[in-house]
Structure 1
Amino acid sequence: MSVARVAQHGAPCWIDVVQPDMSRGREFYGEVFGWTFADPHERSDGIYQIAMLDGRPVAGLAMRSGEPEWRTYLAVDDIDAATSSALASGATISTPVTMQPEGRSAAVVDPFGAHFGLLESSTRREPRMRGLGSWRWATLRTLAPCTVIDWYSAQFGWVERTTPSVTALFLAGQGEGGVDDEPPGAVLPDTHKSLMHAAAWVTTAIEPTHWLPVFRVADRAGSIDRIERLGGTLLSKHDIAGRSEGAVMQDPQGAQFAIARAGA
């Protein structure tokens, strides 16, 4: 398990899932990923519960209004400035800036219909780890990748880099993986070093634009079987950057997520 790092501005820093039936959600995700759960607590937007993996927070379960879905939160230095910029660029604010235990947060719908969150916190940390059941990547699935990438890059300073099989978005100034040494438009190799340090991946999908968290599993076939036995649904299978088997799944309450073999 890696040590949590303070999240840089623009980095995916947290995820949570809306579950109308929290008991059912705990049972499902606990069985699928080996999560345990802290005691639920009241927040301004409903009941909230932290999922734990190896003693560390890994995700949130929320019982609030809205469709069951996973939400990805992006770290920001100034949430007031970030929400104003998003509004001016065609986004809508579905939940205004609110003080939560972890910091000031807001829910945003980008101009393409994807829901995501913003989080301003001096103690924000990246919950992504390397163990089985952990959140590994933030993926943005869209019908219009070029337009979507332009919007997010303008908002968060992301730098686009491509490989033969995937588009990766890196944080501005990020040196890991050698991306700062590559000229704009350069095609990087499909290597672990080039891809794993990306802030997010962008993939083409026939569905409306949406964020999708990717979780580490030991193997695809066994995980799909377990998810289906617990009431989940397989939506599609795919290879990730030509290296690892992955799949898009739906939980019993309708929220979509993805899995990837741990070797990716």
Structure 2
Amino acid sequence: MTEFPEGAPCWADAMFKDVGGAKTFYGEVLGWTFGDAASEFGDYTLAYRDGKAVAAIVPPMPGGEEPVSQWTLYFASPDAAATAEKIKAAGGELVMGPMQVGTFGSMVIAREPSGALFAVWQPGDHQGFEKVGETGSYCWAELVTPDPGKADAFLTKVFPYGSQRMETGEDPATGMDYRAFNLGGPEHPVLGRMSTGTVQGTQAPARIRVYFAVDNCDEAVDRATKLGGQVHDGPMDSPFGRFAELSDQQGAAFVVIDPGTTVGEMPTMT
């Protein structure tokens, strides 16, 4: 089983009012199958691709507020409580935890200073993703934020990241503003950061976009729309793969990308 270094994305889950509908949607779009619901943990249900755990879905807690369906990305930590203190010291907000989840591990849910929700996972029996970068599994994520300076400072205070800016030849104030965070050097990027000014306008809320790999982007988009999903951006080509941003029929946004279909030269990072 994969062990994830501190700061590496290691898991993703989402809450759905209609769990059956979510199973149908992601089963068709990403080829997922699902395990039995863990009743002692709120019917938390693991999703699998080719027998490997790739994500999880969960219904809302009884009596709670109407949930907003969204994918939550977890970052690995050797000590969730210590990371929680770093989050607070760096200007973030703790939403839940630190809390022990049986023998599976410990978690924290938090918001970074520009507003994006994320989670921290200290592994126990559950290490995280069992498949990464392959069809039907997690392959990338990026923090999309209206305040990149604040987000960048936060990320490097909480996790042991180095970073590089993508050179696009554009003015960051008006064009593409993208930074990649790495662990152990530029050849090991683990997270992107994009200014919302390049995608939705400066008033768009901060969020983390989770990417799942597919064999064919256009076919995945077609399957999603036939099941009630919506296309928000794309499909479009890039040096990293052909991709599209979607939302499922319950409103949870995500990105599908075909990493094997690339167009253009890789950008310079400085």
Q: Is the contact made by 2:230 and 2:247 (CA closer than 8 Å) also made in structure 1?
A: yes
Among 192, 198, 203, which residue is 2:189 paired with? 198
How much has 1:144 moved relative to structure 2?
A: 2.0
CA distance in 1, matches of 2:114, 2:165: 22
Any residues of structure 2 matched to 1:26-37 within 5 Å, and which?
A: 26-37=23-34
> Percent identity among equivalent residues?
26
Quote the residue 2:174 is aligned against: none
What secondary structure sits across from 1:169 in the alignment? Answer: strand
Q: Which runs of 4+ in 1 moved over 3 A?
A: 125-128, 238-243
Aligned to 2:239: 242
Equivalent residue, structure 2, for 1:185: none
Q: Where in structure 2 are there 5+ consecutive unaligned residues?
A: 169-177, 263-270
Contact 2:242 2:259 in 1 (8 A): no
Range with bigger deviation, 132-141 or 197-206: 197-206
Aligned partner of 1:117 in structure 2 is: 119
* Counterpart for residue 168 of structure 1: 180
Partner of 1:62: 58
For residue 200 of structure 1, what is the amino acid of its counterpart? L
Give the counterpart of 1:20 among 17, 21, 28: 17
User: Relative to structure 2, which stretch is displaced further, 66-75 or 214-223?
Assistant: 214-223
Could you tell me which residue of structure 1 aligns to residue 258 of structure 2?
261
- Equivalent in the alignment of 1:143: 146
Q: TM-score, normalised by structure 1?
A: 0.84
- 1:108 paired to 2:104: no
SS across alignment from 2:53: strand
Describe the superposition over 1:62-116 as per-residue Cα deviations: whole angstroms up to 9, x where unpaired.
1125310100001111111111221232222211222224201121122211111
CA distance in structure 1 between the aligned counterparts of 2:33 and 2:252, rounded to whole angstroms: 19
Is the deviation greater in 128-137 or in 210-219? 128-137
d(CA) in 2 for partners of 1:102, 1:141: 30
CA displacement at 1:128 relative to structure 2: 4.4
Among 27, 43, 46, the alignment partner of 1:47 is 43
SS in 2 for 1:222: helix
- Specify whether residues 33 and 41 from structure 1 end up closer, same or farther in structure 2 by C-alpha distance, changes over 3 A only: same
C-alpha deviations, 1:35-55, integer Å up to 9, x for none? 1101001245x2210000111
- Structure-2 separation of matches of 1:150 and 1:113: 14
Between the aligned partners of 1:20 and 1:8, the Cα distance in structure 2 is 33
Would the alpha carbon gap of residues 127 and 200 (structure 1) be closer, same or farther in structure 2, given more than 3 Å must change? farther
Stretch of structure 1 that moved more, 117-126 or 139-148: 117-126
Q: Counterparts of 2:227 and 2:8 in 1: how far apart (Å)?
A: 32
Alpha-carbon distance in 2 for matches of 1:219, 1:213? 17
State the Cα RMSD in Å: 1.9
Q: Give yes or no for contact 2:217–2:235 (8 Å, CA) kept in 1.
A: no
Say if 1:135 and 1:216, in contact at 8 Å, map to a contact too.
Answer: yes
Change (3 A) 1:103 1:91: same
